[in-house]
Amino acid sequence: MKRYSSRVFKTSLLGQPMAFLSGAEGNKFLFSNENKLVQVWWPSSIEKLFPSAHINPRKMLSSVIKVDALRKLVGTTDVVMKQHLQTSWDRDEVNVSLVAKTYTFALACRLFLGIDDAREVQKIVKPIDDMSRGILSIGVNFPGTAFRRAINASRAIHEDIERMIKQRKIDLSEKRATPTQDILSQMLLSTDENGQFAKEADIASSLVGFLHGGYGTVTAALTFIMKYLAEHPDVYDEVLKEQTEIAKSKESKELLNWEDLRRMRYSWNVANEVLRMTPPVFGTFRKAITDFNYAGYMIPKGWKLHWIAHDTHKNPVYFPNPEKFIPSRFEGNGPPPYTFVPFGGGPRMCPGNEYTRMVILVFLHNVVMKFRWEKVIPNEKIVSDPNPRPSQGLPIRLRPHKH
């Protein structure tokens, strides 16, 4: 590894010459020069697993995952979470990674594909898991390898979703499905700036990418929220106070709505501090599409670039006492621009950031209103594969509230 300065260093990663641009300045440079000096780049293993990786799934999904659309999904999300509490949290101890994974995937299948049958959901979980295990493996397609299993899983899930797409087109034409019943219907009926409908294969690849990415990252975020609230009872008490006020303002059995989420300011500050401490995505890659100069150093065309959320998230210049859990960092104007980047930035910013916010806050409201909890393994280690997770999945002991 060769460091040019505190702002730039180069190394070799994934068999590629790679430059790291550090700090908020590096983030700003990469995020604001998309398709000017750099463009998205994926390792070969990801290219092979997502056949339409050349398209911009963020652009396709951003056309349908808008605030106005999400407003209508809060109630459904609340219903799914309440059902999940009844079926998966009805015991003294739970493994948070497992129950969070079950919830996030069941919800994604319901909202994106209109699937609410647990058996059908399970059929999709298995190939997504196999893809996760092989996604950052060496991209050599030999029998018996994690990558071969991931390739087979990718092919199977793409074929399944393409079949769903063909059937949905028929259902829409025959009025057995509605244009707004889920994200799939909306994607099928949306057009680009040229009035063109997306290809079935591209829609399938976008949905697989979002199911895979959102499933892992949201599960990680929920798991670490539970971890930090167990470790900081004073923070838990403030979250409970805020959520209790919201619950008191509603009629019995009335579902959460978008305005309720807007009132969860402290709870969202807590979630943001969790995302700062343990960003669910390590970072992403870009490729130089022309020679350019940065901080006095030449980056040749074809070189790869990498940004890492931890680089700014754990920097005391931007976040004093970065190892301390302090939700108040996000009060007022919050951190400086380009320092808090759990969802990336610029044109490539994750389109699911508002979706993630909705899922987290609905989850948090329901769990906090029902339980306190404590960690079963006080000093459980954190591992990454590739998303961060507690090594044993964060088993917790539940303490239901006494009403």
| Residue count of the chain | 403
Torsion of CA 343, 346, 349, 351, to 10 degrees: 130
Residue of 181, 177, 202, 205 whose CA lies nearest to 191: 202
* Residue 350 annotated in ligand binding: yes
Beta bridge partners of residue 297, listed in sequence order: 294
CB atoms within 10 A of CB 5: 10
Beta bridge partners of residue 374, listed in sequence order: 397
Three-state helix/strand/coil letters over the chain: CEECCCCEEEEEECCEEEEEECHHHHHHHHHHCECCCEEECCCHHHHHHCCCCCCCHHHHHHCCCCHHHHHCCHHHHHHHHHHHHHHHCCCCEEEHHHHHHHHHHHHHHHHHHCCCCHHHHHHHHHHHHHHHHHCCCCCCCCCCCHHHHHHHHHHHHHHHHHHHHHHHHHHHHCCCCCCCCCHHHHHHHCECCCCCECCHHHHHHHHHHHHHHHHHHHHHHHHHHHHHHHHCHHHHHHHHHHHHHHHHCCCCCCCCCHHHHHCCHHHHHHHHHHHHHCCCCCEEEEEECCCEEECCEEECCCCEEEEEHHHHHCCCCCCCCCCCCCHHHHCCCCCCCCCCCCCCCHHHCCCCHHHHHHHHHHHHHHHHHHEEEEECCCCCCEEECCCEEECCCCEEEEEECCC
Residue list, annotated binding site: 350
Residue list, annotated binding site for heme: 350
